Amino acid sequence: MELNLLEKTELWINNIELKNANLNQVADIVAEILGMKRKNVNVVDVRDTCITLDILQECIKAEDIAGKQEEMLSALGAVEGVNISGETYIHSEGILGMISLDKDTALEAIDTSNKMVEEMKNRIRNRVMVFPTGFELIRGMIEDTNTPAIVERLGQEGYKVSKGEILDDDMYYISAKIDDAVNSGYGLVITTGGVGAEDKDKTVEAVLRLDRQAATPWIVKYTKGQGRHEKEGVRIAVGKVGETLIIALPGPNDEVRLALEVITAQLKEHRDKGRLADAIAGVLRDKLKSKYFHKHH
């Protein structure tokens, strides 16, 4: 379990005696025992019976620090010029204070924390927010058949699905609403519509604002500037922010239903955005190829 030090990075070794000791060796030992790179451990102050070290690392694994006091003091005591006694102890005002815990207590605490974190992650992954998009839905020109389909299909898989508001075709508004859902603890956010080649289609761009490395495979490509095609083609998007997957699907209901089968199958095995995007794009491309073949034969 990785922990943020929250700027409480100082570590004090108290009731220690030094006589011509090499402080580089002291820092070497602390870095090695805490599983850190040597450059991230500096001795910043030395007093009569105290050494202060600064840990130049934002996050650290609990397993690397918990219950390490005895091991660290034993190793320091072997350094020439360093005298460790029964009164020597290690202190920190922050997360680093886990070093001084009893080892068995520390391991038990880590195990309990890991279970709690995993349970929380599972709850988050199980929560889904759905955002339909498009002015035609906002104006009531057409019925939203996608959201009920998503609610029903993912509900069958045990997901808790919430319906978000219909989003206008505005990149900034869409990305803001998706970000709100991420921060509200939804592990999966699905949008429908707005992935086409017209200038009004902004959903993929909204996902890219939140995850610049989002996977955005093409479904079909056009000649840019021909007719209504302001963009190169139709593509979907699968991004990830923290623990939350964001999936931007097309608007046609039959394509959404095809994608849902892929999503439910893939999420049972992994949450890799690239593999998921390629799998969704693959079935949608096959559908278009089949449609084209039947039309011309």
3-state secondary structure of 193: coil
Across the beta sheet with 127-132, the strand order is 160-163, 127-132, 188-192, 244-249, 237-241
pLDDT at 297: 44
The residues with which 11 forms a beta bridge, in sequence order, are: 53
Q: How much is the pTM?
A: 0.67
Residues 6+ apart with CB under 8 A from 203: 133, 174, 191, 193, 194, 195, 237, 248
Angle at 215 between CA 149 and CA 211, to 5 degrees: 95
pLDDT at 8: 66
Distance of CA 18 to the CA centre of its chain: 45
pLDDT at 225: 63
Q: Tokens in use for 153?
A: 């299909």
pLDDT at 296: 43
| pLDDT tens-place string over residues 48-64 | 999 999 988 888 787 78
| Sites in the chain below the pLDDT cut of 50 | 3, 292-294, 296-297
pLDDT at 227: 60
CATH topology of domain 126-296: Molybdenum Cofactor Biosythetic Enzyme; Chain A (3.40.980)
Q: Tokens in use for 86?
A: 């029964």
